Amino acid sequence: MVDLRVVSARRASQSEPARPHGGVVTEKAALRSALDQARAAGRTVGLVPTMGALHDGHAALIRRAAAECDLVAVTVFVNPLQFDRPNDLAAYPRDLDGDLAVAAAAGARLVFAPTSTEMYGVGAQARVHVAGLADRLEGAARPDHFDGVATVCTKLFGIAGPCRAYFGEKDFQQLAVVRRLVHDLDLPAEVVACPTVRADDGLALSSRNALLSPAERAAAPALHRALRLGADLLASGGRDPEVVAAAVAAAFGHEPRFRLDRVDVVDADTLAAPDERTTRIRILAAAFLGRVRLIDNLGVTL
């Protein structure tokens, strides 16, 4: 097993090439074997699945995993199956060197960064679909997106073996899909949900933020402010989901750079319309700033 702290320190001091593979596991069999060995030695395993371009939000997941598990593996894989727009896949930020440094500093011991061919081979045919949860909200507009998420997560859990797996609440529907997937398919993982990490101005940290122009970055916190307004409305007794959603949408009017894509006010567990049994509401929004699509969400307990 590679100690990333050592590898990263050595790299920095020797000015090695930009994308080294020494500190990274690139083969599925190597990850499985390293984690099997750790478990055989009685160590617990934490898994932090990511698409790379690691930021402080990921670092928070890794730190939590490192606090709760003996060995933390971060996976860095920009999963083509979950992209519906080829341009989005091509533009997705990639920075393996930076990822190594963030992962090591946050306490990860292993980074698994496979190629697409290593992950899927040729002619892979199996797909995992989580009916209901994956068909709603984002899934309605992007029909294959959550199948891609569910399939790659099933594979990662299959490769990694028994572990605690850390996911951020920022991708709230993804978290719900993964939790359901693990439950329904009896995968040997325990899903741990972690709160969204925000910049001082409220913007949820996201790898896509790196794609914003300075002016767009300055406008971006309006997304969080609009959600906050919706949450305040709910907290002060507003109960009609459509009224709350309309108020959130209206709040975007103050920031003309934003093009609102969707606002949903749903039951936090089912992601369907709230009903009389609902005790936790989630407000989710997606909006474009230029060509970058940002998402965010907030919860309110009734």
Q: Which residues are catalytic?
A: 58
Site membership for its own copies, residue 195 (CB under 8 A): no
Which member of 158, 202, 290, 299 binds its own copies (CB under 8 A)? Answer: 158
Which member of 87, 186, 214, 301 binds its own copies (CB under 8 A)? Answer: 186
Q: Toward its own copies, which CB reaches closer, 18 or 131?
A: 131
Site membership for its own copies, residue 43 (CB under 8 A): no
CA distance 11 to 2: 13
Which member of 51, 76, 102, 150 binds its own copies (CB under 8 A)? Answer: 150
Q: Toward its own copies, which CB reaches closer, 38 or 156?
A: 156
Q: Toward its own copies, which CB reaches closer, 114 or 274?
A: 114
Both tokens of 29, joined, read 């069999």
Site membership for its own copies, residue 10 (CB under 8 A): no
Site membership for its own copies, residue 121 (CB under 8 A): yes
CA distance 278 to 266: 9
Site membership for its own copies, residue 80 (CB under 8 A): no
Site membership for its own copies, residue 198 (CB under 8 A): no
Do residues 61 and 100 touch, judged by C-beta distance below 8 A?
no
Q: Toward its own copies, which CB reaches closer, 132 or 238?
A: 132
Both tokens of 136, joined, read 């709603």
Site membership for its own copies, residue 130 (CB under 8 A): yes
Nearest to 171 by CA among 282, 47, 63, 46: 282
CA distances from 106 to 56, 93, 100, 101 (A): 9, 20, 10, 9
Buried b (16+ CB within 10 A) or exposed e, 175-211: bbbbbbbbeeeebebebbebebbbbeeebbbbbbbeb
Do residues 151 and 126 touch, judged by C-beta distance below 8 A?
yes
Identify the DSSP state of 25: B
Q: List contacts with its own copies (CB under 8 A).
A: 28, 32, 40, 120-121, 124-134, 150-151, 154-156, 158-159, 161-162, 180-181, 183-188
